[in-house]
Chains A and B, each alone.
Chain A
């Protein structure tokens, strides 16, 4: 992916750049708002990372300006202001995702992946297929092989989200936000329990196991090689 980082803090920018390069992405850094705005318009990036507290300008103003000129590239806003209402402000300004500092790097990469590929699932048919796992969004049924699997509504949405982001790491926070619409950190990892329920239904007794846990990051629905 080509990623533009608009961040004035040199250390933070370098740390993000280093991490993203390691993950195999190409990055470019703009240390101020004006340069960032110009680079965003000139270059072809898959996703933008915009810090909110830039010298002399709020990162959200940049996002608003870009959106006004029909700029469609996904934007992830980084901010030290993590209140849920700040987040809503960010999304209203045209950001596609909002991540509060301090953040786990795995959280950032997972969200960037999700942003960069998010337009794809909407284009596919009402059927999501991973290996022999099939999810029908119209009939709201799930099959593994020939066997139908009965899921509760929330489990269905959880699986749907995982399948839409198959092959990508999704974090617990992302699941909580996207599947449950909660934007707080529950003290206990309730998501783990839901995942293990889902895993018991879709993976138990089937080969290969599709839903894997990525330590220190989250979960990934594996995309079997044969299907690629």
Chain B
């Protein structure tokens, strides 16, 4: 037990909480199965060896008995007595032993069960003439050799087993030939011990080996777990070490690290958004508060002024609400949690209606609107697509050239994909800022003075993502050209997002 404790300690099994683990249970189950199989195999080997061993002795005894019976029939009782006496001497026994036949003992009993010849002195009372075979103990038969009162045999010798063959001869005589089984028994025990030892050693090595291999797995898993704990504790930059070998743990660590990277990017993104929200909402909130405060502190308040202030405050609040709602809508679209049913819609129809809605606005600014609309059908959400086009046209009207503004709207089909472009002739967006403008609240320097919440293009991107389309910003020489592409038409009628 001590050794096992030491081994377990050495393997740092307790620290890893091994007994609870799958690895431990697997090692145990495997060891159990192994013992069962090995036990059956070695048991069979033992059984057949042992049987063979004793069968050999029996056949030796039988042969000897046969020889003596033949002698008795041929030459009579006297010859038999002489032969037995001759064979019963110590020297004869030793000679027979040298020939690997084992030491044999003899006893010839007369019709009254009295000893006529042989080195055995006794025969147990239970002896019955019907039996052919018997297994007894040395002390039951008391061979002459060990009956010497001056040299008493030790207790161990007395317990040796003796295998005996009994032949009943005509005339009521009984011939008993026995052989001590001590050597055979010893050999048998030896085999059994070896088998048990072999099983023990194997079991031990399986357990130790299994646990050692399991420890390797556990250590790797522990690393993953520790990393996860560190991350949970707040250190999001922590990553799982990959290890040297490209095994399944390497792949697992790589996948998990990828996932952590994605989560981290989202977190950073979210923090950025939150910061932007806080920053961009502070200004109108401050203005709103200042308005109300000034009205409250007005030394000579009059109804007209107060109502004016309250109306302004409501407008501020409305614009804040609008920003909040836009933010919510974008997050909902981006999260993919809401369900939107996409139907087949005519993109050019959507564009025509939005163009009509915005025409007076463009006219007021003195901008011209040109459009080339081919009937193109896409799988889409009519309201969201309308909002998308509205946002793009709204931007185009805001930023087109203030003197001779021109806004161009096209809908067409390019290699099976529906394409929508909205172009203006304003200042455009420098290529390095083109990715950034899709982020929430991004407003380029020249747009600071125009009204807007910096969410328009974020929403456009979110809607395009929902429609599995792409969005590209290009130079219109001069101005900005927004190019939207939608996936090829045949798609299932509804898409669950």
A contact residues vs B (CB 8 Å cutoff): 82-85, 100, 102, 104, 154, 180, 182-188, 190, 193-194, 197, 215-216
Does B360 sit within 8 A of A, measured CB to CB? yes
Closest to A197 in B: B360
Q: What size tier do the contact residues of chain B reach?
A: 35 or more
Let me know if B311 and A216 touch, CB within 8 A: yes
Nearest Cβ on chain B to A127's Cβ, whole angstroms:
27
Let me know if B383 and A84 touch, CB within 8 A: yes
B contact residues vs A (CB 8 Å cutoff): 310-311, 314-315, 318, 321-322, 324-326, 328-329, 332, 338-341, 353, 356-358, 360-361, 364, 381, 383-384, 386-387, 390-391, 394, 397-398, 451-453, 456
Knowing A82-B325, A83-B332, A185-B322 touch, does A154 contact B356 (C-beta < 8 A)?
yes
Residue in A154, A187, A190, A216 whose CB lies within 8 Å of B456? A187
Most-contacted residue by chain A among B326, B358, B387, B456 (CB, 10 A): B387
Let me know if A188 and B386 touch, CB within 8 A: no
Nearest Cβ on chain A to B342's Cβ, whole angstroms:
10
| Chain B residues, CB < 8 A from A102 | 321, 324-325
Nearest Cβ on chain B to A227's Cβ, whole angstroms:
28
Knowing A85-B339, A180-B357, A216-B315 touch, does A187 contact B383 (C-beta < 8 A)?
no
| Chain A residues, CB < 8 A from B357 | 180, 182, 186, 190, 194
Let me know if B383 and A184 touch, CB within 8 A: yes
Distance between Cα atoms of A188 and B359 in the complex (Å):
13
Let me know if A187 and B453 touch, CB within 8 A: yes
| Chain A residues, CB < 8 A from B397 | 188
Let me know if A216 and B314 touch, CB within 8 A: yes
Let me know if A215 and B452 touch, CB within 8 A: no
Let me know if B341 and A82 touch, CB within 8 A: no
Nearest Cβ on chain B to A216's Cβ, whole angstroms:
4
Nearest Cβ on chain A to B426's Cβ, whole angstroms:
16
Let me know if B456 and A180 touch, CB within 8 A: no
Residue in A82, A83, A85, A190 whose CB lies within 8 Å of B361? A190
| Chain B residues, CB < 8 A from A183 | 383
Let me know if A85 and B338 touch, CB within 8 A: yes
Nearest Cβ on chain B to A92's Cβ, whole angstroms:
12
Distance between Cα atoms of A193 and B365 in the complex (Å):
11
Distance between Cα atoms of A175 and B53 in the complex (Å):
109
Distance between Cα atoms of A85 and B381 in the complex (Å):
9
Nearest Cβ on chain B to A60's Cβ, whole angstroms:
15
Let me know if B341 and A190 touch, CB within 8 A: no
Closest to B353 in A: A180
Most-contacted residue by chain B among A82, A83, A183 (CB, 10 A): A83
Nearest Cβ on chain B to A144's Cβ, whole angstroms:
21
- List of 4 A-B pairs having minimum Cβ-Cβ separation, nearest first: A216-B314, A184-B387, A193-B360, A84-B383
| Chain A residues, CB < 8 A from B452 | 187
Knowing A180-B353, A184-B387, A193-B360 touch, does A82 contact B314 (C-beta < 8 A)?
no
Let me know if B364 and A104 touch, CB within 8 A: no
Let me know if B364 and A193 touch, CB within 8 A: yes
Closest to B357 in A: A190
Residue in A83, A100, A216 whose CB lies within 8 Å of B338? A83
| Chain B residues, CB < 8 A from A85 | 338-341, 381
Let me know if A187 and B364 touch, CB within 8 A: no
Let me know if A187 and B394 touch, CB within 8 A: yes
Let me know if B456 and A104 touch, CB within 8 A: no
Distance between Cα atoms of A83 and B353 in the complex (Å):
21
| Chain B residues, CB < 8 A from A215 | 311, 314
Residue in A82, A194, A197 whose CB lies within 8 Å of B328? A82
| Chain A residues, CB < 8 A from B356 | 154
Closest to B314 in A: A216
* A and B contact pairs by CB, cutoff 8 A, 12 listed: A83-B332, A85-B338, A85-B381, A102-B325, A184-B384, A185-B322, A185-B325, A186-B357, A187-B453, A193-B360, A194-B360, A216-B315
Apart from the given pairs A187-B452, A197-B360, 6 other A-B contacts in the complex at a CB distance below 8 Å: A85-B340, A154-B356, A180-B357, A182-B386, A184-B387, A188-B398
Distance between Cα atoms of A180 and B311 in the complex (Å):
27
Distance between Cα atoms of A209 and B397 in the complex (Å):
31
Distance between Cα atoms of A63 and B23 in the complex (Å):
58
Distance between Cα atoms of A104 and B357 in the complex (Å):
24
Nearest Cβ on chain B to A105's Cβ, whole angstroms:
9
Nearest Cβ on chain B to A135's Cβ, whole angstroms:
21
Residue in A82, A186, A216 whose CB lies within 8 Å of B390? A186
Nearest Cβ on chain B to A13's Cβ, whole angstroms:
20
| Chain B residues, CB < 8 A from A184 | 383-384, 386-387, 390
Nearest Cβ on chain B to A102's Cβ, whole angstroms:
6
| Chain B residues, CB < 8 A from A197 | 360
Closest to A180 in B: B357
Distance between Cα atoms of A89 and B453 in the complex (Å):
29
Residue in B310, B314, B326, B341 whose CB lies within 8 Å of A185? B326
